[in-house]
Structure 1
Amino acid sequence: MNVKKNKTTGLVIRNKQASFEYTFIDKFIAGIVLTGTEIKSIRKAKVSLQEAYCYFKSGELWIKSMHIAQYEQGNIYNHVENRERKLLLTRKELNKLIKNQEKGLTIIPIQLFIDENNRAKLQIALAKGKKLYDKRQHIKERDVQRDMERHQTAKF
């Protein structure tokens, strides 16, 4: 879990493994239907996106396996940690995702953040899985970039 604070929008929780495993084709920002104390746990960064994925049920987009830990000060009305949550997108965006998912692409969460209106938003991506040789190439490019940055900072 990679957590960062953004000055303008607040909390940002990233799924770093997603960029290594998938090639992103298109990105969308969706609202999430939350219940009870889930937003309080999100604000405390008690969320994991690592195993989460999105799927369609009755023409609506849902996210499964997104773990939001129970709120410590919660009472008997605390939420279920791994429940399925509905994602809110426009009909035009949903139709585009449905059409592309039929082509063998998958929908994965990239990051969870709090927007300027204090609402939890989830950035999702239409993605295609990388092959093993693509992953090796990604590691090689990252190492070369890191070495170049080290040499530039060492000169100054």
Structure 2
Amino acid sequence: MNNRQAYFNYHIEDKYVAGIALMGTEVKSIRAGKLSFNDSFCLFDKGELWVRALFIASYSHGTSNNHIEVHDRKLLLNKRELNKLQTRMKEKGYTIIPLKVFFNEKNLVKVEIGLGRGKKLHDKRETIKSRDVEKEIKRYLK
């Protein structure tokens, strides 16, 4: 599952792949595609990286032990990567955004996060123009 809005709203400069601490029913919901990135972002708390506002719908066949849909989830990165991200975050204008959630070859849930700067309005307009031009070219070539 990709976060398409992130690429529209931010210039992504660096990408990292992180593990994420989840409960069993959250993994089952992600497998079913019940995930939403609406307004989700990452933040540091006591030297740890957390993803906030990531919506994972409750599992339909879950019991009373079903998970809470929106809560902070810990991202698992090396200490060196965390330190690098934390120093870049102190610079003005940078933010960390979850870009993609996927399963790796060992069937573990991974999150691709990106360090990005917010786009200005004119940059967003340029993105829309270039996308429209590409659509026209594809339509013309068919």
TM range (shorter): over 0.9
Partner of 2:62: 74
How many aligned residue pairs are there?
Answer: 141
Inter-partner Cα distance in structure 2 for 1:29 and 1:120: 10
Inter-partner Cα distance in structure 2 for 1:151 and 1:91: 50
4+ runs deviating over 3 angstroms: none
Matches within 5 A, 1:1-156: 13-104=1-92, 105-153=94-142
- How far the C-alpha of 1:50 sits from its partner, in A, is 2.1
Q: Deviations over 1:68-98 (max 9, x none)?
A: 0110110011111101100001111111100
The one-letter code matched in structure 2 to 1:110 is L
CA contact (8 A) 1:66 1:82 kept: yes
SS at match of 1:77: coil
Structure 2: give runs of 5+ residues left out of the alignment.
none
Inter-partner Cα distance in structure 2 for 1:88 and 1:49: 18
The one-letter code matched in structure 1 to 2:7 is S
Inter-partner Cα distance in structure 1 for 2:115 and 2:134: 26
The RMSD of aligned alpha carbons is: 0.7
CA contact (8 A) 1:36 1:77 kept: no
CA contact (8 A) 1:30 1:121 kept: yes
- How far the C-alpha of 1:149 sits from its partner, in A, is 1.3
SS at match of 1:14: coil
The one-letter code matched in structure 1 to 2:108 is R
TM-score, normalised by the number of residues in structure 1: 0.89
Structure 1: give runs of 5+ residues left out of the alignment.
1-12
